[in-house]
Structure 1
Amino acid sequence: MIMWGLVCGRLLSGLFQKQIICPRALNKTRRLHGPVRWMATRRPAPLLRATPCRALIDELIALKAYHLPRNSPVSMRARMTCEDGHLWQSVSHYHTDEDGVVDLTKHPSVGGSYVGCEPMGLFWSLQPAPGGKQSLRLRKKHLETPYTVDVSVLEGHISPLNSSREHELATVSLQRWYMVPGVRRIEIRQNRVVGTLFLPPGPGPFPAVLDLWGMARGLVEYRAALFASHGLACMTLAYFDNKDLPGPSKRINVGDSYFKKVSTILPTPAVVIIVYLLTIFYHNLTLRIATSLSVNPRCVVCINGPFCSMNKLFGEDGENTDEEQKHWNINEQGYVSFRDFCLPCNVPPENFIQIEKVRCPLLFVIGEDDLCCPSIENADEIERRLHTAGKPHLFTRVSYPGAGHLIEPPYTPTCHTSVWASQPTQSMIQWGGNLKQHAAAQKDSWPRILTFLESNLRGEDTA
């Protein structure tokens, strides 16, 4: 047995020795047969890259996948869990090129959540995932944290409704923020005013913007944080359904004096804010401040809203928000539209804002598929009245076919309908908007708004 083991060992040793090639022998082989070429038999692993992987919500993120099967169908999928724990998802179909690459800045989607060359399509087409709660509105609450989005490239053209057979080739995780590092968030609880002030990085001085949200309940901060990230001091103000404000929840329980106080509490002595530069959102309230109070804003931006309402204009006692239901339009699904509630032909003359008194430039952003408000009809009437008053130069209108009511910063999901917070959960409110056209309106209108603010807020004081 021992002898047999020695024989086997010598045989194996001889076999292994035959595989060893010394450098001298290798050089001889090269002389006889040419240079030795080493060839990889395996291709690199698929790679998905996001540039940048950390960005503001309104910044473009370039997505590009490498080392994929050539000229083959693949799917791109984005997934995100919102702060309320709901999963949002978008899926779109692509074909790799001859190099095995998919570049969302160059290549078109051929199906799925959107079609065409849409570099940020995976983000603005995000919707509640199949099987989850539908008709949600995405609104950021905690600005100290980002939205984290996981983007994957999958083999083949998958259906969003069936993920049982999916094969993930590569994935990347990225962050989308509303607030850049260095922005300061200051809670305002002074002289009975409730709000939040966002200051850009640096010592200032900064132009000041007041951001109002219509009938949004509580204190909505994310757009104000984004304004501050673009160099504008911005205060968002609570005036409806906030625990720090008195009165019933279904009323605006503050009056004119409340809004006059805003300019008295800005700013602290350490930071210089140009307080007379004021821009406000929400038409009735916005235009009342611009025409009737002693605030003297430098300019006004209005996004989809009326300058008249069936509700009486408030003074010092606030405004009742219990609308007359005879002007509600309810479709077969039970979804509510308020378009008739603010139609100029339905509103008593005493409930019109005296727009003729305005002294500052107005920018109106209009979604032509607005199902919540007759924005086109109100803009037409405002334009007519300013022309009659000899002030047509103060009015600028930007109108978007297919866009709905909720025109927000770029690359945020479109909300066509959502749960009506002040009613039972079965009630839904219609906002309108075609997915792709609404996304285009958000992308185009946001830089227009920023440019309008910059051109009017950073000039010489003419007040």
Structure 2
Amino acid sequence: MIMWGLVCGRLLSGLFQKQIISPRALNKTCSLHGPVRWMATCRPAPLLRATPCRALIDELITLKAYHLPRNSPVTMRARMTCEDGHLWQSVSHYHTDEDGVVDLTKHPSVGGSYVGCEPMGLFWSLQPAPGGKQGLRLRKKHVETPYTVDVSVLEGHISPLNSSRDEQISRERELATVSLQRWYMVPGVRKIEIRQNRVVGTLFLPPGPGPFPAVLDLWGLARGLVEYRAALFASHGLACMTLAYFGHKDLPGPPKRISVGDSYFKAAWQVLCDHPQVCEDRIAIIGISFGVFVALRIATSLSVNPSCVVCINGPFCNVNKLFGEDGENTDEEQKHWNSNDQGYVSFKDFSLPCNVPPENFIQIEKVRCPLLFIIGEDDLCCPSIENADEIERRLRTADKSQLFTRVSYPGAGHLIEPPYAPTCHTSVWASQPTQSMIQWGGNLKQHAAAQKDSWPRILTFLERNLRGEDTA
């Protein structure tokens, strides 16, 4: 009889909560089976909140989960599918507090993809899911659309998914989820394709009437046009033209050789200067990797006057003489390539100053504008430290040391990008027929810290030299 009363009580409790039966009718019914003691067990459903849920890629997103089991283990998980259809994910382990809350701005992760209090750790620790394609590098191709990231909180501490069984377990343990968007373009940014005077590029203009200070954006030997950093600069109020000079279908010559020279870069500079929405006397250059070599070549060897130059992990010398007035170049010399035990390639010796003929150095003594050098001390692709040391020495000898600002990051690798982008330690180098794996370097957490710190420094440096003011 007692068991029947308990069963009856649970069934009728459900009816009561759904307001199918009233308390008076309930008491009358239960009196037939003996007394039943009632206790409220209803509590709010778990809730996961992202603030904001639509943000720029470099903007902090606050993640906070409520109404969870108190003082209990939970897993925070981020998942997204990149434009090539590959799944990326990160997981991190937390313990809820006495109120059943996990706040990523206050609470430390105790395991998983990262440890410590890292409000944006779920984003910068994203990696290809186990069992997926190896050697991936996350690069946004279509800047008009966002990355959509699904963040979930799950019961207990779980590992990254690597099987359909794990997927089933995670669905059973999911307590709450939220979808958010991460953008490179704010509303109102205008994207303009440039095909003028043989120049191949994309110009991004900020919202508003202009004219605007501008940046010429130069990537390394990545094929085609890389647009996402230029779009982000425009979202911060600077016009920015990203320039193709290697591996683009609209450029002359073989697709895997640099077939443009000084005349091409001078024409690109002029296209940017002549645009009616650009302040022609307020133009900077930013380069990463081999783009640093190009940026310094433009600033010192062409009859142009950039307001400043930002260099991220790149050389000012090269074993090959790559540029001339007619755009001649020579084949890359693989004798300077090095490989580790896994066969992954490093190009550090390719631009070590001690390996380079004197005639292949940029004449850095001719520079007339401020230089900002961002250096990752764990760069496995370029001898950034050695190049910066030599640049600093030569500028000191030329009595121009005041033009040189150096920021160095222990543990950071080659690909220092805008904040919260995933660290890429190695990836496939698609420019080579053999699809070699390149070593970029970088400790996950230290590289993320370098990206977070360097980006506002770059923006402040540009604002100071283009507008004569610092950013807030």
Task: Quickly name the TM-score band, shorter chain normalised.
Answer: 0.7 to 0.9
Map 1:115-264; keep pairs closer than 5 Å: 115-161=115-161, 167-264=173-270
Using structure 1 for the length normalisation, give the TM-score: 0.87
Q: Are 2:338 and 1:329 aligned?
A: yes
Q: How many residues align?
A: 456
- In structure 2, the partner of 1:274 is 286
Q: Are 2:29 and 1:20 aligned?
A: no
Displacement of 1:9 in angstroms is 23
| Unaligned 5+ runs, structure 2 | 165-170, 273-282
Change (3 A) 1:24 1:446: closer
Kindly name which structure, 1 or 2, has the bigger radius of gyration based on alpha carbons.
1
Change (3 A) 1:15 1:145: closer
Alpha-carbon distance in 2 for matches of 1:18, 1:275: 63
**For each residue in 1:135-167, what CA deviation from the matched residue of structure 2 results, as whole angstroms up to 9, or x when unmatched?**
210000111110000000011000114576851
**For each residue in 1:283-311, what CA deviation from the matched residue of structure 2 results, as whole angstroms up to 9, or x when unmatched?**
xxx11111110111010000001100101
Change (3 A) 1:6 1:415: closer
Q: Aligned-pair RMSD on alpha carbons?
A: 6.6
Alpha-carbon distance in 2 for matches of 1:14, 1:126: 42
Q: Secondary structure at the match of 1:425?
A: coil
**C-alpha contact 2:263 2:326 (8 A) present in aligned 1:** no
**C-alpha contact 1:253 1:319 (8 A) present in aligned 2:** yes
**C-alpha contact 2:410 2:446 (8 A) present in aligned 1:** yes
Displacement of 1:254 in angstroms is 1.3
**C-alpha contact 1:279 1:300 (8 A) present in aligned 2:** no
Displacement of 1:255 in angstroms is 1.4
**Percent of counterpart pairs with the same letter?**
90
Change (3 A) 1:262 1:19: closer
Change (3 A) 1:302 1:8: closer
Using structure 2 for the length normalisation, give the TM-score: 0.85
Change (3 A) 1:20 1:365: closer
Displacement of 1:205 in angstroms is 2.0
Alpha-carbon distance in 2 for matches of 1:141, 1:50: 25
**C-alpha contact 1:205 1:274 (8 A) present in aligned 2:** no
Displacement of 1:261 in angstroms is 1.5
**For each residue in 1:48-93, what CA deviation from the matched residue of structure 2 results, as whole angstroms up to 9, or x when unmatched?**
0000000000000000000000000000000000000000000000
**For each residue in 1:3-57, what CA deviation from the matched residue of structure 2 results, as whole angstroms up to 9, or x when unmatched?**
9999999999999999999999999999999999997421111000000000000
**C-alpha contact 1:208 1:274 (8 A) present in aligned 2:** no
Displacement of 1:332 in angstroms is 1.5
Change (3 A) 1:275 1:59: closer
**For each residue in 1:91-115, what CA deviation from the matched residue of structure 2 results, as whole angstroms up to 9, or x when unmatched?**
0000000000000000000000000
**C-alpha contact 1:372 1:405 (8 A) present in aligned 2:** yes
Q: Secondary structure at the match of 1:444?
A: helix
Alpha-carbon distance in 1 for matches of 2:64, 2:393: 49
Change (3 A) 1:326 1:273: closer
Alpha-carbon distance in 2 for matches of 1:304, 1:101: 41
Change (3 A) 1:68 1:382: same
Alpha-carbon distance in 2 for matches of 1:95, 1:11: 34
Alpha-carbon distance in 1 for matches of 2:333, 2:379: 20
Alpha-carbon distance in 2 for matches of 1:39, 1:379: 71
Alpha-carbon distance in 1 for matches of 2:20, 2:378: 77
**C-alpha contact 1:411 1:443 (8 A) present in aligned 2:** yes
Change (3 A) 1:280 1:305: closer
**C-alpha contact 2:92 2:111 (8 A) present in aligned 1:** yes
Change (3 A) 1:5 1:243: closer
Change (3 A) 1:5 1:41: closer
Alpha-carbon distance in 1 for matches of 2:328, 2:386: 23
- In structure 2, the partner of 1:375 is 384
**For each residue in 1:414-440, what CA deviation from the matched residue of structure 2 results, as whole angstroms up to 9, or x when unmatched?**
000000112245520100000000000
Change (3 A) 1:185 1:96: same
Q: Secondary structure at the match of 2:31?
A: helix
Alpha-carbon distance in 2 for matches of 1:273, 1:115: 37
Per mean C-alpha deviation after superposition, the further-off stretch among 160-169 and 39-48 is 160-169
Per mean C-alpha deviation after superposition, the further-off stretch among 411-420 and 311-320 is 311-320
Displacement of 1:381 in angstroms is 0.3
Displacement of 1:325 in angstroms is 1.1
**C-alpha contact 1:210 1:280 (8 A) present in aligned 2:** no
